[in-house]
Amino acid sequence: MPTSVKVKTLRIDGRDVSAREDQTILEVARENDIWIPTLCHLDGLSPVGACRLCLVEIKGSTKLLPACVTAVEEGMEVSTQTEGLESYRRMILELLFSERNHVCSICKSNGHCEMQTLAQRLGLTHIHFPYRYPSLPVDLSHELFGMDHNRCILCTRCVRVCAEIEGAHVWDVMGRGVDARIICDLNQPWGTSETCTSCGKCVHVCPTGALFERGRSASEMDKRPEFLPYLTLMRRAGGE
Amino acid sequence: MILPPEKQPMPSDDKRWRLVATAMRRHGYKSHGLIESLHSIQETFGYVSEDALKFTAKMLRVPLSQAYGVASFYHYFNLKPLGRHSCVVCRGTACHIKGSAQILSDLEQLFAVRVGETTEDGSLSLLSAQCLGACGIAPAVVLDGVVMGRAEAESIVHRVEEVVAA
Amino acid sequence: MIFEELGHIEEAELEAQSRFERRIHVCAAAGCLASGADAVKEALSGELQSTGLEERCQMVGVGCMGLCSRGPLVSIQPDNVLLAQVRAKDAKEVVGTLGKKPPKRLACPSDLPFFKRQLKVVLENMGRIDPERIEEYIAVGGYSALHKGLTEMTSQEVIDEVVKSGLRGRGGAGYPTGLKWSQLSKESSPIKYVVCNADEGDPGAFMDRSVLEGDPHRVLEGMILAGYATGATQGFIYVRAEYPLAIKRLNLAIKQASRLGLLGHNICGTPVSFGVEVRVGAGAFVCGEETALMASIEGGRGTPRPRPPFPTQSGIWGRPTMINNVETFANIPPIIRNGGKWLAEIGTEKSKGTKVFSLSGKVVNTGLIEVPMGITLREIIFEIGGGIPFGGKFKAVQTGGPSGGCVPDSGLDVPVDYESLSHLGTIMGSGGMVVMDDSASMVDVARFFLDFSRHESCGKCIPCRVGTVQMHGLLDKIAANRATSEDLAMLEELCDLVRKTSLCGLGQTAPTPVVSTLRHFREEYLSHLSGKA
Note whether A74 and A91 are same-domain residues.
no
DSSP string spanning C169-192?
-TTTT--BHHHHHHHHHH---S--
By the 8 A CB rule, do C133 and C125 touch? no
Q: CA-CA distance, C244 to C278, in Å (whole number)?
A: 12
Q: What is the DSSP letter of A71?
A: B
Tell me the percentage of chain C whose pLDDT exceeds 90: 93
Please tell me if residue A227 touches chain C, with a CB cutoff of 8 Å: no
Residue C72 lies in a domain: yes
Go through chain A and tell me how many residues it has: 240
Q: Do C401 and B93 touch (CB under 8 A)?
A: yes
Judged against a pLDDT cut of 50, whether residue B12 lies above it is answered with yes
Q: Do B147 and C34 touch (CB under 8 A)?
A: yes
Q: How confident is the model at residue B1 (pLDDT cuts 50, 70, 90)?
A: low
Domain termination site, one of A57, A81, A105 = A81
List the domain range (segments joined by +) for residue C170.
Answer: 141-344
Q: What is the pLDDT of residues C348-403, one digit of tens each?
A: 999 999 999 999 999 999 999 999 999 999 999 999 999 999 999 999 999 999 99
Task: List Cα–Cα distances, B75 to A50, B93, C238, in angstroms.
Answer: 22, 19, 16
Note whether C56 and C92 are same-domain residues.
yes
Exposure pattern of A128-140 as b/e (b: 16+ CB <10 Å)?
ebeeeeeeeeebe
Angle between helices C485-501 and A83-99 (to 10 degrees): 110
Residue A25 lies in a domain: yes
| Structure-model confidence comparison of residues B100 and B131, the more confident one | B100
Residue A230 lies in a domain: no
Distance, in angstroms, between A167 CA and closest chain B CA? 10
By the 8 A CB rule, do C165 and C344 touch? yes
* Cis bond before residue C78 (omega within 30° of 0): yes
Q: CA-CA distance, C139 to C128, in Å (whole number)?
A: 11
Note whether A46 and A11 are same-domain residues.
yes
Q: Do B73 and C34 touch (CB under 8 A)?
A: no
Q: How confident is the model at residue C533 (pLDDT cuts 50, 70, 90)?
A: very low
| pLDDT at res. B147 | 86
Q: What is the pLDDT of residues B102-111, one digit of tens each?
A: 999 999 999 9
| pLDDT at res. A240 | 59
| pLDDT at res. C531 | 58
State the average pLDDT over residues C157-161. 98
Q: Catalogue the E-assigned strands of C209-309.
A: 234-239, 275-280
| pLDDT at res. C532 | 46
Domains of chain C: total: 4
| Structure-model confidence comparison of residues C372 and B145, the more confident one | C372
Return the CATH number at C231.
3.40.50.11540
Note whether C194 and C317 are same-domain residues.
yes
Note whether C98 and C45 are same-domain residues.
yes
Cβ atoms < 10 Å from Cβ of A60: 8
Note whether C490 and C382 are same-domain residues.
no
Q: Do C434 and B33 touch (CB under 8 A)?
A: no
Q: Is A74 exposed, middle or buried (0-12, 13-18, 19+ CB in 10 A)?
A: exposed
Q: Which helix (H) or strand (E) holds B109?
A: helix B100-111
Q: CA-CA distance, B148 to B134, in Å (whole number)?
A: 10
Taking CA atoms, what residue in C is nearest to B30?
C299
Domain termination site, one of C394, C418, C437 = C437
Domain termination site, one of A50, A81, A112 = A81
Report residue A168 CA to chain centroid gap: 20
Q: What is the pLDDT of residues A174-220, one digit of tens each?
A: 999 999 999 999 999 999 999 999 999 999 999 999 999 999 888 88
Note whether C493 and C433 are same-domain residues.
no
List subunits contacting chain B, requiring 3 or more Cβ pairs under 8 Å. A, C
State the average pLDDT over residues A6-29. 96
Q: Catalogue the E-assigned strands of B19-133.
A: 85-90, 117-118, 124-129
Note whether C334 and C358 are same-domain residues.
no
Is the confidence metric ipTM above 0.90 for this complex?
Answer: yes
Note whether C305 and C366 are same-domain residues.
no
Residue C429 lies in a domain: yes
Note whether A101 and A29 are same-domain residues.
no
State the average pLDDT over residues C208-235. 97
DSSP string spanning C443-511?
HHHHHHHHHHHHHH--S-SHHHHHHHHHHHHHHHHHHTT---HHHHHHHHHHHHHHHHH-SSHHHHHTT
Note whether C173 and C315 are same-domain residues.
yes
Residue A166 lies in a domain: yes
Phi, psi of C437, rounded to the nearest 5 degrees: -100, -175
Please tell me if residue B26 touches chain C, with a CB cutoff of 8 Å: no
SS3 A113: coil
Chain A contact set for B64 (CB, 8 A): 185-186, 195
Note whether C162 and C249 are same-domain residues.
yes
Q: Do A70 and C308 touch (CB under 8 A)?
A: yes
| pLDDT at res. A3 | 59
Judged against a pLDDT cut of 80, whether residue A238 lies above it is answered with no
Note whether A125 and A92 are same-domain residues.
yes
Q: How many CB pairs under 8 A join A and B?
A: 42
Taking CA atoms, what residue in B is nearest to A184?
B65
Please tell me if residue A91 touches chain C, with a CB cutoff of 8 Å: yes
User: Where are the domain boundaries for CATH 3.40.30.10 in chain B?
Assistant: 85-165
List the domain range (segments joined by +) for residue A73.
Answer: 7-81
Judged against a pLDDT cut of 80, whether residue C514 lies above it is answered with yes
Strand partners, C107: C83
Domain termination site, one of C60, C91, C111 = C111
Return mean pLDDT, chain A. Answer: 95
Note whether C48 and C187 are same-domain residues.
no
Report residue C351 CA to chain centroid gap: 17
Chain A contact set for C281 (CB, 8 A): none
List Cβ neighbours of A42 (8 Å cut-off, separation of 6 or more).
Answer: A157, A160, A161, A205, A225, A228
Q: CA-CA distance, C403 to C400, in Å (whole number)?
A: 6
Cβ atoms < 10 Å from Cβ of B100: 25
By the 8 A CB rule, do A129 and A100 touch? no
Q: How confident is the model at residue B93 (pLDDT cuts 50, 70, 90)?
A: confident
Please tell me if residue B158 touches chain C, with a CB cutoff of 8 Å: no
Residue A232 lies in a domain: no
Distance, in angstroms, between B14 CA and closest chain C CA? 25
Return mean pLDDT, chain B. Answer: 91
Instruction: Tell me which of A26, A159, A178, A208 to substitute to probe the interface with C (most C C-beta atoms closer than 10 Å).
Output: A178
Instruction: Tell me which of C73, C298, C301 to substitute to probe the interface with B (most B C-beta atoms closer than 10 Å).
Output: C301
Q: CA-CA distance, A111 to B92, in Å (whole number)?
A: 47
For B85-165, give the CATH class: alpha beta
Q: What is the pLDDT of residues B29-83, one digit of tens each?
A: 999 999 999 999 999 999 999 999 999 999 999 999 999 999 999 999 999 999 9
Note whether A202 and A107 are same-domain residues.
yes
Tell me the percentage of chain C whose pLDDT exceeds 70: 99
Q: What is the DSSP letter of C522?
A: H
Residue A234 lies in a domain: no
| pLDDT at res. B2 | 66
Q: CA-CA distance, A166 to A150, in Å (whole number)?
A: 25
Cβ atoms < 10 Å from Cβ of C186: 11
Q: Do A176 and C308 touch (CB under 8 A)?
A: no
| Region of poorest pLDDT, from A184-198, B125-139, C356-370, C478-492 | B125-139
Residue C126 lies in a domain: no
Note whether C494 and C360 are same-domain residues.
no
Taking CA atoms, what residue in B is nearest to A183?
B65
Domains of chain A: total: 2
Of A154, A42, A140, residue with least CA distance to A96: A154
Instruction: Tell me which of B93, B115, B127 to substitute to probe the interface with C (most C C-beta atoms closer than 10 Å).
Output: B93
State the average pLDDT over residues C459-488. 97
Taking CA atoms, what residue in C is nearest to A66?
C306
Note whether A117 and A140 are same-domain residues.
yes
Return the CATH number at C385.
3.10.20.600
Residue C9 lies in a domain: no
Q: How confident is the model at residue B153 (pLDDT cuts 50, 70, 90)?
A: confident
Q: What is the pLDDT of residues C68-105, one digit of tens each?
A: 989 899 999 999 999 999 999 999 999 999 999 999 99
Nearest by CB to residue A50, choosing from C460, C468, C473, is: C460
Of C408, C362, C368, residue with least CA distance to C389: C362
Q: Which helix (H) or strand (E) holds C414?
A: none
Distance, in angstroms, between B62 CA and closest chain A CA? 9
| pLDDT at res. A2 | 53
Q: Do B65 and A186 touch (CB under 8 A)?
A: yes
Cβ atoms < 10 Å from Cβ of C179: 14
Note whether C26 and C70 are same-domain residues.
yes
Chain C contact set for A99 (CB, 8 A): 462, 465-466
Q: What is the pLDDT of residues C44-59, one digit of tens each?
A: 999 999 999 999 999 9
SS3 B149: coil
Q: What is the pLDDT of residues A66-101, one digit of tens each?
A: 999 999 999 999 999 999 999 999 999 999 999 999
Q: CA-CA distance, A8 to A28, in Å (whole number)?
A: 11
| pLDDT at res. C484 | 95
Q: What is the pLDDT of residues C329-363, one digit of tens each?
A: 999 999 999 999 999 999 999 999 999 999 999 99
Note whether A184 and A155 are same-domain residues.
yes
Domain termination site, one of A33, A63, A81 = A81
Nearest by CB to residue C463, choosing from A92, A98, A178, is: A92
Domain termination site, one of C386, C410, C437 = C437
